[in-house]
Structure 1
Amino acid sequence: MNSDQQPAEKIRLDKWLWVARFFKTRSLATQAVDNGRVKLNGARVKPAHEIKTGDRLDIHAGEADWTLTVRGLSTQRGPAPVAQALYEEDPASLARRQQQLSDRKFLDTPGAALRGRPTKRDRRQIHRFTDA
């Protein structure tokens, strides 16, 4: 809602991405659009491009890829349930993201075997590697 309490008809793409909680700040949303990680109806656009309900967005944020349809517009950032009502995710996109999450559960975290400070043997190997 804008200051007149009327539903917005169009809103800037970077602002909508921030309101819908895909990015923590508007500047991060702007950078993502500038770098081509957000596409509107299959095309690269500028952050100031106005979107409307029914538009299709392809978003690459972090490790996740989203394909969604804009269902609502708002100018105020609110809680997550309100933000989730602003879009509808494509079923194939949702299945792909859930598959990525389940695959990530079975992977070891890097450095999980490392505990505490390096031993004397580890330090010797580190020095051999860095001095060579």
Structure 2
Amino acid sequence: MSDTIRLDKWLWHARFFKTRTLAASVVSAGKVRVDGTPVSKPARSVGPGVVLTFMKEEDVKVVRILGCGTRRGPAPEAQALYEDLSPPKEDKQPRNPGFEGKGRPGKRERRNMASIHGGKGSFPLE
């Protein structure tokens, strides 16, 4: 097993991106940091001990590379390639704070929701 591998290939092996082309495009866009330094070349060599920071969907991922891997194997094999250092996810507020999901809202709850949304009772479609 080699001790370095291309960055885009490692992101693909570790199953962070579905295709290697997608991984390369994210790296080319400058959205990946290697040890805190922005990188824009997918061919950048990385190895064990390197810390990567990148966006995956709406989450910030921070991972330390533990191994390079030889293939894009099953998920347990891919998870053994890195240590997740990501910050814990923040709980998002519910979309409608006035209604707690306990059945149909009554008159008082509808008035409270209307005051929150600034309308007189009709809600805009979302």
TM-score (norm 2): 0.69
2:5 is aligned, of 2, 7, 11, to 11
Equivalent residue, structure 1, for 2:47: 52
2:15 to 13, 16, 21: 21
* 1:37–1:61 contact (8 Å) kept in structure 2: no
- Residue 86, structure 1, aligned to residue 81, structure 2: yes
| Alpha-carbon RMSD | 1.6
Is 1:61 matched up with 2:56? yes
Give the equivalent residue in structure 2 for 1:39: 33
Aligned-residue sequence identity (percent) comes to 44
Give the alignment's TM-score, normalised by structure 1: 0.66
AA in 2 matched with 1:26: R
Higher RCO, Cα 8 Å, sep 6+: 1
Unaligned 5+ segments in structure 2 are 97-126
Describe the SS at the equivalent of 1:60. strand
Residue ranges of structure 1 left out of the alignment (5+ in a row): 1-6, 109-132
In the other structure, the counterpart of 1:114 is none
After TM superposition, where is structure 1 displaced by more than 6 Å over at least 4 residues in a row?
A: none
The answer to which structure has the higher helix fraction is 1
Q: CA deviation at 1:94?
A: 4.0
Q: Structure 2: how far apart are the matches of 1:18 and 1:40?
A: 16
The CA distance in 1 between the partners of 2:95 and 2:74, in whole Å, is 31
Counterpart secondary structure, 1:66: strand
